[in-house]
Structure 1
Amino acid sequence: MARVLMGILLLANVITAIGVVHARHQHRQLFAQLTRLEGARDELNIDFGRLQLEQATWSESNRIDQVARQRLGMKFPDTADIVVIRP
């Protein structure tokens, strides 16, 4: 009877040890994945900040006016060219 009990306790101890090893291995894998994902998140945040800055630069009214004048040849109409239509 004592041998059976010792065998059962030994088997339970081995199974528990294997479970602990498996849990620690899984924890290490998940932690490594978390670290990679946090790095990717940080890179995306940096890119997002750069894109916001670029968008702000491109959408400035002075920049739009400059492009309209230089590339498209646009200009404000002279007063004589403005026609007001009333209903």
Structure 2
Amino acid sequence: MAARGNRPAGAPADGRALNLLCTAAMVAVVLSAFFVIHSSHACRQLYAELQGLEADQWFLQEDYSRLLLEESAWASHHRVEKVATGELDMHSPAMQELKVVAP
């Protein structure tokens, strides 16, 4: 039987070292839990921002499509010819108004 002063090898000196180790482990667990909470919150914020940006992209794409359609309507050959003859009094030249330039 071992006397009080003789401890087996590797045994803690007293219960304080074990309490300190448990406290350090508990603090590490709590800190890691807070970091998980923080990273989850940041992830949710970034995802919400992504959804907002995707909605903005959708609206801008719709506007761009409408503008392309409007541009093609304004630049149609029929409309250009109508404006040229109606508002600008332009016309195709007659045969006697044509001049051929020799090279």
Q: Shorter-chain TM-score: which interval?
A: over 0.9
Equivalent residue, structure 1, for 2:6? none
Unmatched tracts of structure 2, length 5 or more: 1-16
Q: TM-score, normalised by structure 2?
A: 0.80
Unmatched tracts of structure 1, length 5 or more: none
1:77 and 1:56 map into 2 onto residues whose CA distance is 27
Q: Does 1:84 align with 2:100?
A: yes
| Runs of 4+ off more than 3 Å | none
Equivalent residue, structure 2, for 1:49? 65
Choose between structure 1 and 2: higher helix proportion.
Answer: 1
Q: Identity, % of aligned pairs?
A: 33
Q: Structure 1: which amino acid aligns with 2:46?
A: L
Give the counterpart of 2:50 among 28, 34, 46. 34
2:89 and 2:48 map into 1 onto residues whose CA distance is 56
Deviation, 1:52, is: 1.1
How do 1:56-71 and structure 2 match up within 5 A?
56-71=72-87
Q: How many residues align?
A: 87
